[in-house]
Amino acid sequence: MKRWHKFAIGSAAGIVLAGAALFALDAADKAYPPPLDKANAVSAEVLDADRQLLRAFATPQGRWRLKTVVTDVDPQFLRMLIAYEDQRFYDHGGVDVWALGRAAMQLVSNGRIVSGASTLSMQVARLIEPREGRSLSAKLLQLVRAVQIERRLSKEQILDLYLTHAPYGGNLEGVRAASLAYFGKEPRRLTVAEAALLVALPQLPERRRPDRNLKAAEAARQRVLDRVAVAEAVGDGEAERAEGVAVPPRRMQLPALAAHVAEAALRKEPDVLKHQTTLKKQVQQGLESVARAAAMKLGPKLSLAMVMADAQTGAIVGEVGSADYFDASRSGWIDMTRVKRSPGSTLKPFIYGLAFEQGLVSQETIIEDRPADFFGYRPRNFDMSYQGDVTVREALQLSLNVPAVKLLDAVGPSRLMVRFRRAEVRPVLPPNETPGLAIGLGGVGITLKDLVQLYTALANRGQPVRLGDGVTGAPAKLDGEPLLEPVAVWNVADILSGVIPPAGAPQRGIAYKTGTSYGYRDAWSVGYDGRYVLGVWVGRPDNSAVPGLTGYGTAAPILFEAFAKSGIATTPLPRPPAGAVRIAQSELPISQRRFALNASGLLVASGREPAPQIVYPPEGAHIDLGAKAGELSPLLLKLQGGRAPFRWLANGKPLPDLSRRRTQQWLPDGGGYSKLTVIDSAGRAASVGIFID
């Protein structure tokens, strides 16, 4: 047989054998794939609205293993890692043949292992499929697994696995967990010294733990900095400068914010690994720091809760369910933001808002604060004293009980409850009871979250929003009528923004109201600016009395400090809407100078049955409705007295419908002088002349 025939036959046989070998290897690879599915077991994370870590949960095995990808870490750390661990990482297929040969020659010539040949791919293989001992068979399996992994994953994906699973001592795994534990920060921005320590620890994580073996950690970091390839990766002089930086001697706790929201997130989607919430990390940190400090002052068994919400979107940006989640003496596991308690005087602003809206009073209307009997119900003030004649403004600012009950009697408790339903809030009445006058002083049950939802209307020109649940929620503006009209809302805010802050608290430009429930069981304070509402509750979870507990003395200081520590700049309260004005008492209509009711529940002035009086707009007023801009806004008309139904006339022309309400809206045809007239069912009339600007 000729030589070329033999060569051809031999070549064909070699190709067949090589093909058979490759086929066998491919079949073996498919039959025994690397256990990459084990790499998916990572810690669940709860994130804020900007995807910052709020809280992490250990794996079922008790490991802090936070999923990490290349984009999560400082690029300089990656350069140092590859320079120190696997310089030809991007060139080999899982096994560095040159490094293996060098290690073998050093072993033969020195009789011991001088340098390793383990690639990052081999280390990943060991991390996801750990083996006891360092036998030759275990090392051979790592070689095979590394090749298998390289066939399935990109280089970046392999780095992701290393960054997630690299051991850092104790139950810390992965670069993110280590960076948070040793430096208190995410690894996106690392110094050279920090990066060198994170490169050094995984080789012997238990021996080099800085919280237990500081000298060993310093020496290991030094070895990384001394490596020529590392020095080249970080630049001239950077390695030398990093040598003088101290190694952190202690391990810090991983972020553990928003315990109750985090638990709710896991219950809602137990199979999800990353839960994004509507919270803001800066706000949450501020509220929790205030809660911890307040709990120390409050004493044992007392808890507190806070909810801060965006009044425009309904997103909860900060929430504290208890003073300390892990404090059993305070029942810290109970989320007190969701528990119904008596709100004390915190519902009074809505009573006054209804009274303003119906034209019953103005801010400077005189109202009596004297003992009164409402068919057997005898409200008393918190301090058991009475102020006599006060203005409506003073009555609300001082949170006087008798004036509030008088106004609630005039507007009607059922009407107040209907308004609450516009905000999708349904306070709970005592069993088998209908709405009565006691609801104005806290005779209902309401949660802190619902109370904040009500107050979003006061911060949002009367339009409430539906609060989310802090986890994902579906915050949205509520459809339908506003809780209160904008002018009434402005009057309430104008009064509450003038309430004196608690001792030592700075004036922050917020409107706020306090409340104390019957028997000193609950202390409340709710404040708002032009964008955010913050509610605070203090009390005992078991509903026991706490002598000396008050809204103004206990909850209000926490409210002001929490606003300050939230890190959110104060947004000015909304500007007065068209028609909003504070009228001096001497300029009020006679019927609004003093609030009084006759035996039939009708408003009276100077002891006479009232004729209709136009409360707003006042005679001769110049009112800016946008006539100069060419887009006129409607004007709110208010009257007091008279007998329904009412007929309104503008410049002698009747408005379309009769009305039984004491408020009406009128859209002028244009600017200039107009005359408004109202006629009641008894034929009595009242008129005012005004100027539309």
Across the beta sheet with 532-539, what order do the strands follow? 316-320, 303-310, 532-539, 522-528, 511-516
The pair of three-digit structure tokens given for residue 25, joined into one six-digit string: 């290897």
25, containing H or E segment: helix 3-31
> Got the DSSP string for 510-564?
-EEEEEE-TTS-EEEEEEE-SSEEEEEEEE-TT----TT--IIIIIHHHHHHHHH
Here the tokens at position 460 are: 């949002």
- How many Å apart are CA 357 and CA 457, to the nearest integer? 14
Structural Rg of the chain based on CA atoms: 37
Q: Cβ neighbours of residue 429 under 8 Å, at least 6 residues apart?
A: 435, 439, 443, 444, 445
Catalytic residue among 118, 179, 303, 345: 345
Pairing mode, strands 366-369 and 388-391:
antiparallel
Which stretches of 97-209 are assigned E, i.e. beta strand? 172-173
**What single-letter amino acid sits at 611?**
A
Residue type, 525: S
DSSP-assigned beta bridge partners for residue 403: none
Which residues fall within 8 angstroms of residue 563, CB to CB, at 6 or more apart? 508, 510, 527, 534, 570
SS (H, E, C) 624-686: CCCCCCCCCCCEEEEEECCCCCEEEEECCEECCCCECCCEEEECCCCCEEEEEEEECCCCCEE
| Count of C-beta atoms within a 10 Å radius of residue 401 | 20
- Of 294, 337, 296, the closest CA to residue 319 belongs to 337
Residue 566 appears among annotated catalytic residues: no
* Residue 118 phi, psi (nearest 5): -75, 125
Active site residue 150: no
Bridge partners (DSSP) of residue 635 are: 666
Task: Select which of 85, 288, 319, 357 is catalytic.
Answer: 85
Residues pairing with 523 in the sheet:
516, 538
Please, are residues 578 and 623 in contact by the beta-carbon 8 Å criterion? yes
DSSP assignment of 207-231: TT-TTT-HHHHHHHHHHHHH-HHHH
DSSP letter at 42 equals -
- 288 near 332, Cβ under 8 Å? no
Active site residues: 85, 345
